[in-house]
Amino acid sequence: MSAVLPLPVAGQGGKAGLRWRLAAGRPNAIALFAVLLGLLSLQWPLVSLHANRVAPDGEDFTAFALGGHWTALVAGGWALLALAVWLARGRARAPALALSLTVAAAAGFGAVTWGAAGQLSAHPGVQEWARFAIAGGAWGTLAAVYIGAFALYAEAPRWLALPVLALAALAWVAPYQHLGVVMEYRMASEVFHEELLHHLLLVAVALPPAMLLGAAIGLLAARKRVFESVLLGAVGLLQTIPSIALFGLLLPVLGLGAKPAILAMVLYGLWPVVVHTHTGLTSVSPAMLDAARGMGMSAWQQFWRVELPLAAPFFVEGVRGAMLMLIGLATVAVLVNAGGLGYFLLRGTEQAVPDLVLLGSLPVVALAFGADAVMRLLAWSLKRGQHD
């Protein structure tokens, strides 16, 4: 039976980065799980029609209720993915996986947008403020598509562009006016843009100090082993304090506003930077340092020419972790009157409007995914440069 084989790292065999590819002939268990979840999601409502923004109960619509053709398209896409996993071999495997995942994702997206819009137009008596809320079946389908994309990335990363571009093209032309989260955005677009800017500013202001201070602490812990356990323990202790509690402790000192939020975010952002900086510096081979000394390099030259380039990918990973942490923590800053997208989560829970909660949470998720992709690309480019 075939085994999971690693691709060569950058510079070996012309391949860039360390990736994993399933050998031909072995079913991709992750893709099969995506198929199972996608088919199960067809049993759940995709959308729910509500009379207004605060109506607790609504009329649920499964894919079949939106139209039998949507059920056929979505189920057909997942069936194609299952066939591709079991039957496709050789060079045809990657495009078969990508095409079938694209069909399933596009069909699910179309059911939530065009399918729901068609149902709304078919009910002329529905009031103008009626809306469709995204229901469990849609979230299950989204999770299945994400898992399927992960499986596709594991086998053929380049083919992941096909479903991504297809969904981007559909998103450009799809009707959204009936979705509750879009209606909430239209009613509060100015406030949304203002709070989004506040959210980004909080992260942008807190990240540089966390990077610099974290790098300094990590460097000191790597250089002075006598301080290693104390420094790492102190920084780790900060992670045990709940964010809301830390904000509360800082309020008597700094008052309401952005100051306590930024200070708390800096303190929380230290941990990943410190740990990865320390790991990167301590993982440099002593043999390489001995070779550098043999070439006549001073301690300063060894750091800049040997240690720093080798530790740079670790540092970037630490910055990635800190950035993702700060993007999430900025949502809590609203509790100390610092603004941010958490404003919509707070107002949505106060007013019992789930769509308003989504208006605040979905952009945070998108920001996290975007930041993660950029930082992973940067880390990959640094590792590639080391092997070129």
Which tens digit of pLDDT belongs to each residue from 78-134?
999 998 888 767 777 888 889 999 999 999 998 888 888 777 666 655 556 678 888
Q: Kindly report the pTM of this predicted structure.
A: 0.80
How far, in Å, CA of 21 to CA of 12, rounded?
A: 16
What pLDDT shows up at residue 299? 74
Q: Which residues of the chain have pLDDT under 70?
A: 1-27, 56, 88, 120-129, 385-388
What pLDDT shows up at residue 39? 92
**Domain residues of the chain, as ranges?**
4-178, 189-387
SS3 assignment, position 57 = coil
Q: Is 316 exposed, middle or buried (0-12, 13-18, 19+ CB in 10 A)?
A: buried
Extract the tokens encoding 211: 């990077």
DSSP string, 146-196: HHHHHHHHHH-GGGGHHHHHHHHHHHHH---TTBHHHHHHHHTHHHHHHHH
SS3 assignment, position 122 = coil
- Right CATH for 189-387 from 1.10.8.870, 3.40.50.300, 1.10.3720.10, 1.20.1250.20: 1.10.3720.10
How does strand 131-134 pair with strand 47-50?
antiparallel
Cα dihedral across residues 200, 203, 209, 215: positive or negative: negative
Torsion of CA 288, 294, 297, 303, to 10 degrees: 20
